[in-house]
A and B are shown apart, each in its own frame.
Chain A
Amino acid sequence: MNVPVQPGQQDRYTVLDTAPRRLRDFLLSWDVILVILFVLTIVVNSLVSPYFLDVYNLADATSNFSEKAIIALGMALLILVRDIDLSVAAIVALASMGIGYAAEAGWSPTMLFAVGLGIGLLCGVFNGALVTRFRLPSIVVTIGTMSLFRGLTQVILGDQALRSYPQGFLDLGQSYFIPMTETGIPWLFIPPVPLSFLVFLVLALIFGIVLHRTAVGRQLFAIGSNPVAARFSGVPVNRLRFLLFGLSGMLSGLAGALLTARLGSMRSNIAVGWELDIVTMVILGGVSIAGGVGSILGVFLAVLVLGLVTFGMALNNIPGQVISVYIGALLIAVISIPRIFERLRAWRAGR
């Protein structure tokens, strides 16, 4: 440390107010790695395909991952407190079905969103009650409710599809919420933004502020780091976990509404397999599955990286499952590499 001890100071030595920021730590931080990945993705993609850097294409690309990304925000908080919700995609299906039937009954677009949020909230509260009341592991509970929610959708819907929605509702999902706006300056314009991406941006900002700047956010980190000590410090551990499950359900309901509006039809297999994509986003975003570590910025960057990797590969006609090979490998590589270095360092130190 290079801070001089001032004479006459009452302490025997100085304790810095904030930890010294070292360039090396900064460069090796997760968020910076993600930014580098993000830039790489853009550079490689735009070199490979001339269609990549097209504002309309990019705007369309965002709607392909924004619904998942919205759910990922809630999932990030759950994983941060050592829980997980694997039923999110099933909640999307159940909410989407509720919206479909409500639409057939002639409800207004606003009410359709309310239906989605309401169904999502109910499902989430059900998860939360099982996990906190009965002290069950959330992974098992939500595997069960995933089956249950998806199953209920299948039971009610069978192999039908719901496809009559009010035009106002479809417009929300299928046209740009903010159209491309020229500002008069040739290089400055507001790009077209789909509603789902705008919702994600706003929510990400709110989640980031709540998690990193408020008392509740601090309490979530405390729960994830040491739930017992958190409880001893007066943190309402189970109440917060319960609320997070409710929140996760509600976000899934919201995503369900946005997805339904975008697709203009729904079947019981809507959003199948999303839970794994969403967990991947969160883990790649640097949220530790062991709890207590993570940032919304990381999740945000991971969402963009995954979204653009997927989009770029799709532009080059790479099939979806091959894309997921790269994403799966990316996930494992990003987690393994620091650990391999750690192992090497420990091995060298041990010699």
Chain B
Amino acid sequence: MTSLIKSRELFLALILVIGVILIGSYDPVFVRWQNISDMLTETSVLFMLALAQMVVILTRGIDLSVAANLALSGFVAALVSQYYPGVPLALMIAAGVAVGLLLGMINGALVALLTIPPIVVTLGTLAVYRGMIIILAGGDQVNASEMGDVFQAFPKQTFLGLTTPIWIAIGVSILFWLFLNFTRTGRGLYAVGGNPLAARYCGISQGRQEFLAYSIAGAVSGLCGYLWVARYGVAYSEIASGYELTVIAACVIGGVSIGGGVGTVAGTLLGALFLGIVNTALPVLQISPFWQMAIAGAVILAAVVINARAEHRPDKLILPEARRLGRDSGLLRRVKA
């Protein structure tokens, strides 16, 4: 274990466990395996997109185009399935990922090479990517009957009791965890976001890291695009509309700092899980699903207020009495003992 799960993640996990127990005791259906499996399958796309978004936010950026990217790459994958039903499934998925990666690289190039603020870039590409679907298809949609059987069956298959989307989400999460904790590049992402100047002193290029982050976000969006389209059996321009904000919400709840340099895989997964549980719990508790959004909003606000570290100027310790009280570090004194 590289990073001990820090208190923030523990706190969030605790809230989730207590929540699940409370809801489960109200209605045991909630904790039945079938329900949990459905919930995880439903949330698997959010898990992956939130991780991808976290990587971007780590570099002090933001990617508003993830959902649009998902829609376009999913649509392309569906087109491949429609027009080339003979192509192996892996190639159809690869088509989605490749389109997603390309779109992500466009974002990355605009942010890293032209140093345009990320929010402006992705606001623009968000509109472009979504609209491209209409241009590609002339306003048509790809329906379940037009997609290949294998194409649609894959996300519904189960292996060792878990659906394929859950397995993919697990795999992607492990890859992110390995990448962010066990590669120089991954640690460099934290360095660039945490202190760009210091990172430059250490020979880490900010532009390269940014380009990489948006490319990763794009590729993951492409993968999620396939899963989304195949699972719901329809591809058109409006799918996952507005989902980018849900994704950012998952990150914020999971403790990712919008200021960059702070965020963990575990925290982000828990943030996404939180939203997933809220969505599934509402019908169980016979609360109107219309509460979903309001709860998410309230939770985001609570999360940022809790996360907000006291940002006010730390008082300097100049007076001798203040120094004695404040800064004498136990660790150093232990040396002398």
Residues of A within 8 A of B (CB): 84, 130, 134-137, 139-141, 143-152, 154-155, 157-158, 268, 272-273, 276, 279-280, 283, 289-290, 319, 321-329, 331-332, 335-336, 339-340, 343
Q: Is the interface of B mostly helix, strand, loop or mixed?
A: helix
Q: Is the beta-carbon distance between B293 and A335 smaller than 8 angstroms?
A: no
Chain A positions within 8 Å of B295 at CB level: 151
Instruction: Across the interface, name the chain A residue whose C-beta is closest to B301.
Output: A144
Q: Which residues of B contact A272 (CB under 8 A)?
A: 242
Chain B residues within 8 Å of A149, by CB? 297
Stretch of B17-25, B47-55, B132-140, B196-204 with 4 or more beta carbons under 8 angstroms from chain A: B132-140
Q: In the complex, which residues of chain B have a beta carbon less than 8 angstroms from the beta carbon of A319?
A: 134, 139
Are A151 and B125 in contact (CB-based, < 8 A)? no
Report which of A147, A148, A283, A340 forms a contact with B245, defined as CB distance below 8 A: A147
Known: A143-B249, A329-B128. A279 touches B301 (CB 8 A): no
Asked if B89 CB lies within 8 Å of chain A CBs, one says no
| In the complex, chain B residues 212-261 whose Cβ is within 8 Å of any chain A Cβ | 237, 241-242, 245, 248-249, 252, 258-259
Query: Is residue B294 contacting chain A, with contact meaning CB distance below 8 A?
Result: yes
- Quick check: which of B111-119, B166-174, B263-271 contacts chain A, the rest being far away? B111-119
Return the contact of B120 from the options A152, A289, A321 (Cβ within 8 A). A289
**B301's contact among A148, A289, A324, by CB below 8 Å, is which?**
A148
Indicate which residue in B124, B131, B301 contacts A130 across the interface (CB closer than 8 Å): B301
State how many angstroms separate the Cβ of B303 from the closest Cβ of chain A.
Answer: 8
Minimal beta-carbon separation of B9 from chain A (angstroms) = 19
Contacts of B123 in A (CB 8 A): 276, 279-280, 283, 328, 331
B71 to A: closest C-beta gap in Å: 10
Beyond the given A151-B291, A340-B114, could you list 19 further A-B residue pairs with CB under 8 A, ordered by the A residue number?
A130-B305, A140-B258, A140-B300, A140-B304, A143-B248, A143-B300, A144-B249, A146-B245, A151-B290, A151-B292, A151-B295, A151-B298, A272-B242, A283-B120, A289-B120, A321-B133, A325-B127, A328-B123, A336-B114
Are the C-beta atoms of B242 and A135 separated by less than 8 Å? no
**Pairs A-B, 9 closest by C-beta atoms:** A151-B294, A147-B297, A148-B297, A328-B127, A325-B131, A151-B293, A144-B300, A154-B290, A332-B124
Select from chain A the residue with minimum beta-carbon distance to B298.
Answer: A148
Q: Does B328 contact A (CB under 8 A)?
A: no
Q: Given A134-B305, A144-B297, A327 and B127 touching (CB < 8 A)? A: yes
Indicate whether A158 sits within 8 Å of B288 (C-beta atoms), given known contacts A148-B298, A324-B127.
Answer: yes
